[in-house]
Structure 1
Amino acid sequence: MEALPKLRVLVLKSNKFDGNMSLASRSNLPFPKLQVLDISENEFVGSLPQKYFKNFRAMMDVKENQTDGDYDYFSNYVEMRITLKGLDQLLKRLLEDFTIIDLSSNKFSGTIPRFIGNLNSLRYLNLSHNNLMGHIPASLGNISVLESLDLSSNKLDGGIPSELISLTFLAKLNLSMNDLVGRIPQANQFSTFENDSYVGNLRLCGFPLTRKCNEENGQQMQPEEDDEYGFIDGFGWRSVVMGYGCGIIVGIGIGCCIIRFGRPRWLGEFFFGVGYTYKKKKKKKKKTRKRATPTQRIT
């Protein structure tokens, strides 16, 4: 399929395809016109296919590569169901500037190649639910028209590159469930994203998260004691519930001891009045005498 000169849409999602896509290619220029690559929810392994990222000409400058006369005819007879910004959508027409790469829910490993930043006409990129490691490449900031970026559920580390703030068309961002660290950028589109874009990165800090950053190095800072959110983050609801539970159990135990044995005396007198222990002993003696009286009469 790499050498098909007019192939623009390749959707193989939700199958059981496996294998390594990074093996040597027989074509010098694979997929010369491809605008849509969706192989999500399969079992592909190995590293991401760098040979494709380097040669996707239609995703580097999509308008310049629409040169053949068959495009208008072809674009009106395309029907495909793909995931855009987290929602399944049915598209019945291929717009000339529509480009997407969806490699999510596979078993890809290794790092995200920096060459992906050369795809300056790419609008949707989804690499989520794989085993990708390493840093988020700063070159992603070169994809100025990018509208959706999903790198969630991988093993990415390091900080969020400040270059990403130049993505002024970015409407959907998901970096959750990784091991990212440091301060979240605060400019342009990044000021509009909420907590769910970053959940599961325990060492990220700054807005919109409640964890504050150290002003000197941008790393996570321990919450202040008088900070309401800091108390919650520092101790957690489990600790609070355990504390209340232990207190109730101890309180019930002390109450039973006071009622039954009258000890400790000072606490019993505090709750039931002065002479509580003495009165209780007196009642016990009266009961003993009443029980002993019939025996004495028989004797």
Structure 2
Amino acid sequence: MSWRCSGNFGAEPQNLGIRCPATSTFPKLHIIDLSLNHFSGSLPAKTIQKWKSMESSNDSQLHYEDSNKVWVGRTMNDAYSFTIYYKRMVMVYDNLQKFYNLIAIDLSSNKFNGEIPDVMGDLTRLVLLNLSNNLLRGSIPSSLRKLSNLEASDLSLNHLSGRIPLQLVELTFMSYFNVSFNNLSGPIPQSKQFGTFESSFFEGNQGLCGNQLFKKCKDIAGLPFAPHSASGDDEDSGFLSAFDWKIVLIGYGGGLLVGMATGSTFDHETIAWFKRVCW
């Protein structure tokens, strides 16, 4: 599902005229792209709880198909490409031969506020999460530790505060974790993959310390860290920020062209594409 850069306004995406049964669990919903719009309000926890296909751990529902296969009776042409946007460079890989279990959410560059709901941690099949360039507040929920399939997460350019949950070091597949330009404080986790993350992933947080920022943490237990002052609560988050990855869903030939972008640490050779079949 994509409304990327559609110029929509509104408190919640469900006000766009989409009619779904109240009991719907969206069994075929795998990618949500609402980026580059003007959506505002808090992230609706009750709606997120309905995205059951992002929670399912039943691998028997997944199977691989050739990318050129056309399904009779469906309005989807299985033509897919893999696109990387990195530091103003664009690389496109066409005619991918396999589908991969890609579950992704991109709500970046809107005006969503409030906290990141704890229920986001229930979407255990989530691979990519981009909530950057919004007005989100509160702490990073420790429930995100349950996202064992997460490979890339961008929470940058918000007003998040508190400490980075130490439990996130257990997300061993995560190769990209950007929390730059928030109000975070305290020590950056050092173990496992966190020790390999770039300093740019954590910049713009005056209270953060750790090896990644070449800033020693002093008396962590007793020292209050001064939060980074925001330039304005109601300031527009803007449309063009320095993302290292972006999910793109584009209509293509009456069907769907799926693109995905990640940081340079994301190994594109391991990426294939998927189709989930619900009978």
Tell whether the structures are fold-level matches, with TM greater than 0.5: yes
Q: Give the drift of 1:212.
A: 1.3
Larger strand percent: 2
1:191 equivalent in structure 2: 195
2:130 equivalent in structure 1: 126
Between 167-176 and 68-77, the greater mean CA deviation after superposition: 68-77
1:48 and 2:52 are equivalent in the alignment: no
Distance 1:170 1:181, change over 3 A: same
In structure 1, distance between residues paired with 2:173 and 2:210:
22
Q: Give the drift of 1:149.
A: 0.5
In structure 1, distance between residues paired with 2:49 and 2:85:
24
Q: Give the drift of 1:218.
A: 7.1
Matched-pair contact (CA < 8 Å) for 2:115–2:138: yes
TM-score w.r.t. the length of structure 2 is 0.66
In structure 1, distance between residues paired with 2:81 and 2:138:
33
| 1:4-54 deviation digits (Å, cap 9, x = unpaired) | xxxxxx122112012122769742124221011111101111111323321
2:117 equivalent in structure 1: 113
Matched-pair contact (CA < 8 Å) for 2:186–2:220: no
In structure 1, distance between residues paired with 2:63 and 2:220:
56
| 1:38-73 deviation digits (Å, cap 9, x = unpaired) | 111011111113233212122112644737999985
Larger RCO (CA under 8 A, 6+ residues apart): 2
Matched-pair contact (CA < 8 Å) for 2:64–2:100: no
Seq. identity, % = 37
Distance 1:100 1:69, change over 3 A: closer
Between 60-69 and 37-46, the greater mean CA deviation after superposition: 60-69
Q: Name the SS of the counterpart of 1:149 in structure 2.
A: strand
In structure 2, distance between residues paired with 1:36 and 1:165:
25
Matched-pair contact (CA < 8 Å) for 2:25–2:52: no
Q: Name the SS of the counterpart of 2:136 in structure 1.
A: strand
Q: Give the drift of 1:213.
A: 0.9
Matched-pair contact (CA < 8 Å) for 1:122–1:146: yes
The one-letter code sitting in structure 1 at the alignment partner of 2:197 is F
Gaps of 5+ in 2: 226-279
In structure 1, distance between residues paired with 2:94 and 2:163:
36
In structure 2, distance between residues paired with 1:33 and 1:201:
38
The one-letter code sitting in structure 2 at the alignment partner of 1:19 is G
1:18 equivalent in structure 2: 9
1:102 aligned residue (85, 99, 106): 106
In our comparison, the structure showing a higher alpha carbon Rg is 1
2:78 equivalent in structure 1: 77
Distance 1:168 1:220, change over 3 A: farther
Matched-pair contact (CA < 8 Å) for 2:113–2:136: yes
In structure 2, distance between residues paired with 1:26 and 1:161:
36
1:31 and 2:26 are equivalent in the alignment: yes
Gaps of 5+ in 1: 1-9, 222-299
Matched-pair contact (CA < 8 Å) for 1:129–1:153: yes
Distance 1:114 1:90, change over 3 A: farther
1:204 and 2:208 are equivalent in the alignment: yes
| 1:123-175 deviation digits (Å, cap 9, x = unpaired) | 00000000000000001111011000100000000000011000101111110
Matched-pair contact (CA < 8 Å) for 1:22–1:49: no
Larger helix percent: 1
Distance 1:124 1:216, change over 3 A: closer
In structure 2, distance between residues paired with 1:92 and 1:146:
25
* Number of residue pairs aligned between Structure 1 and Structure 2: 213
Q: Where do 1:159-178 residues align within 5 Å?
A: 159-178=163-182
| 1:189-234 deviation digits (Å, cap 9, x = unpaired) | 100001100010000011111221124517478xxxxxxxxxxxxx
